[in-house]
Amino acid sequence: MSNSEVVISDDARISSSNSTGLILTLPSEIILEICGLLLGPELVYFAQTCKILYAFLREPYLWRKLCSQHGVVDPSRYGVKSFFTVYTQLLYPFGPLLGLWANDHPYSGNILQFILWSGSGEENGGILGGVWRFPDPDSHSMEDGLPVFCPGQPVFVNILKIELHEDGQRASISCIRHPEAGFQPHRLTMTVAASSSQGLFLQTHRRSFTHTPFPGRSPPWLDQSARRLPRLIPTHLPPVDQRGMANMFPAIQLPILFSAPVYDTSPASLVLDCDNPTTVCELWHQPRITFDGLLPYPPSYFPIHPVIQRSPTSSPDSSAVEYRLLEGLWLYVDGRHGTQCLYIETQDSDNNFSYLFRAWKITGDAYVPRGEVKWSVTGEVNSQHIYRGAGVVGDRGFLVKRHGEIIVEIQTMDRIRVSWVDQHDIQLCVRYTSSSKPSLQ
């Protein structure tokens, strides 16, 4: 099966004798006017109903209008001659990828971002996929005698490209990163994996522990709309049970991660698999962790809800605080684990006088993995914007979860200070916004 095989529903493959006969009797100007009211996917389905319509609907202005919605104004920048080809072979099947995705790699997780690139003088444009990497914090301030590090914004490290062939008949997906001498671009298989009941466990010399599921049960950061998945035919990955294999390892080689079926079901996801995998390729999607693993499949990526917003004012308004505007992606430095990504969820009560905040870890570490709630607070709205709550810490492997007291201060709508009372630590959370979009590297 081709990795760019597009899904066309059975309803779209209807006979032209009855369903399109009346439409074809209309004047061409009327047909084009009707088509101009259709959304992109609807127009693609409509063109599939018969050969006559398929040829007729190659009218350039229809596809120019659809491409312009994505910022595409010149198809030659993508290596082809027509807007029809750009939309039907690139934007229609792969446009839903545009945005942010988080994967379920054990403990650390990873963030992948897709952007539409219009190319350069020497290279055709396409859809680029890049992982987020963060610079080391190089400066800090002192607050209450403790160092407070300010997280840097992520850097977009381009690792893959979806581009059109000159014949305009298909798109190809390739690993393109050149991180070391001798690395050659090679084919990448992109798959939409159907919902799965596969889970992860950590086997120790005493017993096995369930690893934090990801994404979990309907977390607020997960974009569950079907339109976020690329229009490829879904694949069902066969279940794998590695419990017997994990029990065979000697104690000196433990702990070790393994996979086995579970009761909960994870939603459909995106899976990327190199046809010629190298250690370099794997590390872009699977950052090193402190445990060996018997992982049967590459990591699964799940779409992040596109909540990237700013408040109308830079500081909270004591008379009418709109805390819901705090929802979205935030960054913070977690000691030796470096910069990590949170999704802050907000919920207000019926009386609008109290608020609940939860900080979900999109990326994590061996002590508090991705998918966990790092901290949560609730309380009456007050003019100081200071709240007490509980944070989560753990041991290596997250075998034991502990809660500690925290104090959360909303300093501005783009800056939150979290003080860990028992840990004697202060963390500064900074909002990730569209204005701080990762730079292309």
Same structural domain, 233 and 346: no
Q: What is the rounded distance in angstroms from the CA atom of residue 250 to the CA atom of residue 248? A: 6
List the structure tokens of 49. Answer: 């109903």
Please indicate whether residue 372 or residue 87 has the higher confidence score (pLDDT). 372
Same domain? 140 vs 251 = yes
SS3 284: helix
Amino acid at 154: P
Among the three residues 303, 338, 358, which one is the final residue of a domain in this structure? 303
Do 43 and 76 fall within a single domain? yes
Maximum average pLDDT range among 11-20, 52-61, 124-133: 124-133
Within a domain: 258: yes
Q: Is residue 236 part of a domain?
A: yes
Do residues 140 and 221 share a domain?
A: yes
Angstrom distances, CA of residue 403 to CA of 7, 63, 330, 353, 428? 47, 55, 21, 26, 19
Domains in the chain: how many in total?
3
**Domain annotation covers residue 318:** no
Residue 14 pLDDT more than 80?
A: no
- The range of the structural domain enclosing residue 338 comes to 323-436
* Kind and range of the H or E run holding 332: strand 328-333
In this structure, the answer to whether residues 72 and 169 fall within a common structural domain is no
In 146-194, where do the E strands start and end? 146-149, 155-164, 171-175, 186-193
For residue 382, give the CATH number of its domain.
Answer: 2.40.128
pLDDT tens, 210-220?
Answer: 999 999 999 99
CA–CA separation, 86 vs 126, rounded Å?
9
Mean pLDDT, all residues of the chain = 83
We report the CATH number of the domain holding residue 24 as 1.20.1280
pLDDT in tens, 257-275: 999 999 999 999 999 998 7
Q: Are residues 66 and 153 in the same domain?
A: no
Structural domain contains residue 153: yes
pLDDT digits (tens, 9 = 90+) for 143-170: 777 778 889 889 888 899 999 987 767 8
Mean pLDDT of 406-427: 92
Are 110 and 134 in the same domain? yes
pTM of the predicted structure, to 2 decimals: 0.87
> Which pLDDT score is estimated for 21?
61
Shared domain for 125 and 206, answered yes or no, is yes
Q: Which residues contact 2 (CB under 8 A, 6 or more apart)?
A: 170
Task: Quickly list DSSP for 156-169.
Answer: EEEEEEEEE-TTSS
**Residues 70 and 111 placed together within one structural domain of the fold:** no
